[in-house]
Amino acid sequence: MAVSPRLSPAMSVVVSAVQKAARRLLRDFGEVENLQVTSKGPGDFVSQADLRAEQTLREELSRARPGWAFLGEEGGQADGDWEWRWVVDPLDGTTNFLHGIPHWAISVGIEKRVGDTTELVGGCIYNPAGNELFWAEKGMGAYLNDKRLRVSARRDMVSAVFATGIPFAKVQRKAEFTATLARLMPQVAGVRRFGSAALDLAWVAAGRYEGFWELGLNKWDIAAGLVIVKEAGGFVTDPAGGDTHYETGDLVVGNQALHPKLREVVAEGIAAAQAARATVAER
């Protein structure tokens, strides 16, 4: 796999770490029936593969940058006094992985604290099964291996394909999703749900999707992907058009032409579901 020589020292560390973790994940993927699996909730699983991958990433990243904080899905570190932080999902798409579906990824974001605020300055999403490494650094553009990425240029909803994730646990989130989907489907060419938010974001950056929305994601699901989408020319907001998406996990992503239209549909779906809930509560 050819990777651009533009990599900064920090991103070189990330690429090396994800490739090392990927080698073990690929071995586990070939023997998935032997893995021990624990359920964390409806549709939410953790396996030995997740835990081993996070351990590998933590060791490799900490060895190269011992002063950096680490926030990971399978044993994340709480917020503290840090200047730089890795934000890591060692296996995004665990359900796919456990069913032998080759659509899963390792995601590592780089977050920097500036005063009282933080910003995402780098991200890497690696799909080992397809040997596709998506990466970006702030101000440097986004890449797939060594090829520059740009978001889709499509401008019409009728020709657009959007990606999403289906909420599992919270009833209200399911209602908001259902209301949004009912409004969106008649307007577009298709909606896809492939089970990895990290890859959904990477695929928006690569122009494979025109946009993506999901509600209630975690920081490790989206940290790397947000940088990659933005560096590929995409737009990211919360459903109201604000910038709370990284904290709330409610996000709408798209190209310049279609992001506003997708955001409007998602906002309408959320409002409709909330209104229906309020009506029921009043009865």
Question: Which segment of 68-82, 183-197, 205-219 scores lowest on mean pLDDT?
Answer: 68-82
Checking if the pLDDT of 205 tops 80, the result is yes
Q: Note the pLDDT of residue 36.
A: 62
For 54-71, how does the pLDDT look when each residue is reduced to its tens digit (9 = 90+)?
999 999 999 999 999 999
CB 204 within 8 A of CB 234: yes
Band of residue 40 on the pLDDT scale cut at 50, 70, 90: low
Mean pLDDT score, 206-233: 97
Residue set of the binding site? 73, 89, 91-92, 221
pLDDT level of residue 114 (50, 70, 90 thresholds): confident
Residues 6+ positions from 48 with CB-CB distance below 8 Å: 28, 35, 36, 37
**Using H for helix, E for strand and C for coil, what is the string for the chain?**
CCCCCCCCHHHHHHHHHHHHHHHHHHHHHHCHHHCCEEEEECCEEEEHHHHHHHHHHHHHHHHHCCCCEEEECCCCCCCCCCCEEEEEEEEECHHHHHCCCCCCEEEEEEEEEECCEEEEEEEEEEECCCCEEEEEECCCEEEECCEECCCCCCCCHHHCEEEECCCCCCHHHHHHHHHHHHHHHHHCCEEECCCCHHHHHHHHHCCCCCEEEECCCCHHHHHHHHHHHHHCCCEEECCCCCCCHHHHCCEEEECCCCHHHHHHHHHHHHHHHHHHHHHHHHC
Q: Is the pLDDT of residue 39 over 60?
A: no
Question: Domains in the chain and their CATH numbers?
Answer: 9-148 (3.30.540.10), 157-282 (3.40.190.80)
Q: How high is the pLDDT of residue 77?
A: 62
pLDDT over 70, % of the chain: 90
- Mean pLDDT, rounded, for 93-100: 90
Q: What is the mean pLDDT of residues 121-144?
A: 97
What pLDDT shows up at residue 78?
53
- Mind listing the pLDDT tens digit for each residue in 160-191? 999 999 987 677 889 999 999 999 999 999 99
Binding site per annotation, positions for Mg(2+) = 73, 89, 91-92, 221
Residue 238 has pLDDT above 60, yes or no: yes
Of residues 50 and 109, more confidently modeled? 109
pLDDT at 48 over 90: no
Residue 210 predicted with pLDDT over 90: yes
> What is the pLDDT, as a whole number, of residue 170?
73
